[in-house]
Amino acid sequence: MYICLCHGINKKIVEQLQESGHCTVRQVQKQCQAGSSCGACLPDIRKLLKDKAPQEGS
């Protein structure tokens, strides 16, 4: 599933970035440019990062 159509970034790329330590929208933008053009995908990126974040106490 594509997250950022402007830059062709899919869910897997965002997940891989998060696994490698890029856990904020700004860090993801810096690495792959997702969310840096029209911004329509920013809510999706935030949700994906939040949903995949390690839970406290785990």
- Whether the pLDDT of residue 57 is over 80: the answer is no
Measured CA to CA, the distance from residue 9 to residue 4 in angstroms comes to: 5
What's the pLDDT score for residue 55?
67
What's the pLDDT score for residue 52?
84
In one-letter notation, the amino acid at residue 25 is V
Q: What is the pTM of this model?
A: 0.86
pLDDT 10s digits, 27-53: 999 999 999 999 999 999 999 999 988
User: Average pLDDT, whole number, for the chain?
Assistant: 93
Domains by residue range for the chain, with CATH: 2-51 (1.10.10.1100)
Structure tokens at 4: 């950022």
Q: In degrees rounded to 5, what are phi and psi of residue 46? A: -60, -45
User: Higher confidence at residue 57 or residue 13?
Assistant: 13
